[in-house]
Amino acid sequence: MVSMLQIISLASVISVFLVVDWMLYRIFYIIRKHSFVQYSFKSGHHVEIKVGGTSMLASFLRKTIGAFKTKSNFTMTSNNLHCLPDPRRMTLIQYLWTILPVVALFITCCSEVYCKRVRRVIAAFFFPKQEKKRTLYFYNERIRKRCMYNEIQRSRVRRSARLGTIMVLYMRSPILQRLISRRCLVCSEPETEESFVCPSKECFTVYCPMCWQDMDCFCYACTPFSEYVSGESESESESDSEES
């Protein structure tokens, strides 16, 4: 159970990181998409000198100054792409490599119980006597707890069945009996039509059918311990005679 909680907490942290990573990617992608600006500059110049006349000096000047005739065009493009963030989205393979270890841990945690059972089977195969002792120990422990169950429940029911002021008012008021439903003193199940109510005038303890059957139809709240023991011994003797 502890390992399962650790895996669940680890999976929750990884999920939060993946969601935050995806949100940051979307934010930077939107910033890059809507903040892109591009500028284009175009310019040109044309230099031409005209010399008029037909004299020799005019011809000389036209030949000399004609070399200064220039014509050029200039185009420049600029943008802010290098200033914008460049987000990179995680690929499907990266997502798989992130999730697969958590899945592997979860499968290992689920199969841990079966691995422990296999360990017991292997130990029982090599050490059958120790396995037999272990089985007998747990069997006897189970029987001992089952025998103590009635006594424990009897003491607990007698403590819970002590009449208080509220219970006295409940027994004497039909209105409260309609509004408030009582519960079984053993398992706290709500009172139903099949529930058993002790017929004693000073008890009125409620038991569900299962608990009433488990307690061998004896009210632990008002039945003295001696009567319960004698009744239990008589029932056991009757069962033994029937078996014989």
Q: How far apart are CA 53 and CA 61, in angstroms?
A: 10
Please tell me which of 9-13, 166-170, 176-180, 214-218 the model is most confident about, judged by mean pLDDT.
9-13
Token look-up 């036209």 returns 62
In this prediction, residue 161 carries a pLDDT of 58
Q: How far apart are CA 133 and CA 130, in angstroms?
A: 5
* Token pair of 159 as six digits: 């403590």
Q: In the Cβ-directed half-sphere of 26, how many Cα atoms lie within 13 Å?
A: 6
Cross-strand bridge partners of residue 78: 39
In this prediction, residue 167 carries a pLDDT of 57
**219 vs 85 pLDDT, higher one:** 85
3-state secondary structure of 201: coil
* Token pair of 15 as six digits: 């999920």
**102 vs 158 pLDDT, higher one:** 102
Number of Cβ atoms within 10 Å of the Cβ of 241: 8
Q: Would you say residue 208 has pLDDT above 50?
A: yes
Q: In the Cβ-directed half-sphere of 118, how many Cα atoms lie within 13 Å?
A: 5
- φ/ψ of 194, rounded to 5, equals -85, -5
On whether the pTM is more than 0.75, the answer is no
* Token pair of 222 as six digits: 């008002």
**114 vs 27 pLDDT, higher one:** 27
In this prediction, residue 20 carries a pLDDT of 94
Please choose, from the candidates 143, 168, 162, the residue with its C-alpha nearest in 3D space to the C-alpha of residue 220.
162
Q: Which of 59-68, 88-97, 133-142 has the lowest mean pLDDT?
A: 59-68
Mean pLDDT value of segment 91-119: 88
Q: Would you say residue 239 has pLDDT above 50?
A: no
Give residue-wise pLDDT tens across range 5-35. Answer: 888 898 999 999 999 999 999 999 999 888 8
Give residue-wise pLDDT tens across range 129-154. Answer: 888 898 899 999 988 887 777 677 66
Q: How far apart are CA 193 and CA 179, in angstroms?
A: 15
Token look-up 């691995």 returns 115
Q: How far apart are CA 200 and CA 224, in angstroms?
A: 13
